């Protein structure tokens, strides 16, 4: 029996997804704890690290994960490519600024980029035994033109299994306050221009607007921001969060450390959301 495409978020519901599952054991423990407590709608997975297969097994073994959307968090920056060849060829993948420049200047290794995305998708399928429930991007790379083209190229194979993931859509600058933060969100919105319309026309369900931006350099701002955002919820709004427990692996791989612990502590006891769970029943594909 083939999988059944899930319905969208219910009226008034918020899609609350934790990014970066797979980044480090401490991040993964925190996200699993929140899933067990039914504090999250979903978790986006980074599948390019050596620990991924074991961390995927631990996630699959959680009974509550059956009611959680498990997504693919496409990663094209800062780390060694899973496939051995990334968007700029062999070697460590570029930082975000360099990646964006390469996209606009036509300096990408297109085959390397698509091969790396294929490898990350296949690693998800191999470990989870099914397609992802949704797809988004680390540092919002799914908004970039070459990734949009990859998403459209992969759609027929996803549709063949009736397992089309939903996509995380563009942000709304109106959901943030402050000149500096609004400028940052406006830049992400610039990268996402036309994304929602283009992907819906291609056949994807796109959820949004995207929220969850605050000053990560000031972790103490998160509790008040969370409560403010809960009071301004919109139907179908997707809120990203980055909970975690600090460990040596996280410190080696990412600069965002302190804020993750604050988010984890706050989300562990926060009950201000009406969450809309979006799940799918899928069979593993025979091939990508």
Domains of the chain (ranges; CATH) run 15-269 (3.20.20.370)
Binned at pLDDT 50, 70 and 90, residue 275 comes out as low
pLDDT of 167? 97
pLDDT at 273 over 80: no
Q: Which is it for strands 206-207 and 166-168: parallel, antiparallel or unpaired? A: parallel
Q: Answer yes or no: is pLDDT of 8 > 90.
A: no
Tokens of 149: 């083209």
pLDDT of residue 72: 98
For residue 132, what pLDDT is reported?
Answer: 95
Q: Name residues whose C-beta falls within 8 Å of residue 275's C-beta, 6 or more positions apart in sequence.
A: 13, 14, 15, 16, 38, 40, 41
Q: Which two tokens stand for residue 282?
A: 């899928």
Find the range with the poorest average confidence among 114-128, 148-162, 254-268.
148-162
pTM, 2 dp: 0.91
pLDDT score of 183: 93
pLDDT given for residue 29 in this prediction: 98
**Rounded to an integer, what distance in angstroms lies between the CA atom of residue 178 and that of residue 189?**
16
| Residue of 132, 17, 120, 19 whose CA lies nearest to 70 | 132
Q: Is residue 281 scored above 70 in pLDDT? A: no
Strand 42-45 with 69-74, pairing: parallel
pLDDT band of 236, cuts 50, 70, 90: confident
Is the confidence at residue 81, as pLDDT, over 50?
yes
* Range in 29-33, 170-174, 268-272 the model is least confident about: 268-272
């Amino acid at each position: 029996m083939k999988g059944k495409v899930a319905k969208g978020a219910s009226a008034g519901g918020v899609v609350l997804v934790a990014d970066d599952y797979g980044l480090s054991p401490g991040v993964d423990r925190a996200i699993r704890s929140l899933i067990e407590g039914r504090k999250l709608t979903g978790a986006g997975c980074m599948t390019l690290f050596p620990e991924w297969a074991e961390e995927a097994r631990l996630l699959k073994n959680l009974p509550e994960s059956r009611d959680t959307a498990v997504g693919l968090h496409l990663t094209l920056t800062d780390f060694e490519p899973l496939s051995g060849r990334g968007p700029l060829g062999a070697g460590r993948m570029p930082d975000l600024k360099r990646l964006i420049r390469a996209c606009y200047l036509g300096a990408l290794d297109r085959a390397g980029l698509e091969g790396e995305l294929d490898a990350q998708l296949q690693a998800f399928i191999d470990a989870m035994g099914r397609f992802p429930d949704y797809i988004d991007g680390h540092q919002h790379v799914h908004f970039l033109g070459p990734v949009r083209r990859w998403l459209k190229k992969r759609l027929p194979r996803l549709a063949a299994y009736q397992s089309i993931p939903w996509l995380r859509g563009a942000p709304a600058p109106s959901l943030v306050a402050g000149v500096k933060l609004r400028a940052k969100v406006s830049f992400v919105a610039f990268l996402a221009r036309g994304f929602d319309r283009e992907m819906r026309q291609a056949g994807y369900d796109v959820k949004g607007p995207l929220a969850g931006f605050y000053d990560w350099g000031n972790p103490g701002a998160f509790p008040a921001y969370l409560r403010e955002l809960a009071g301004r919820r919109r139907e179908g709004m997707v809120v990203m969060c980055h909970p975690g427990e600090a460990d040596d692996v996280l410190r080696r791989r990412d600069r965002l450390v302190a804020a993750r612990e604050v988010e984890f502590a706050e989300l562990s006891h926060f009950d201000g959301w009406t969450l809309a769970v979006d799940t799918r029943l899928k069979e593993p594909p025979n091939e990508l």
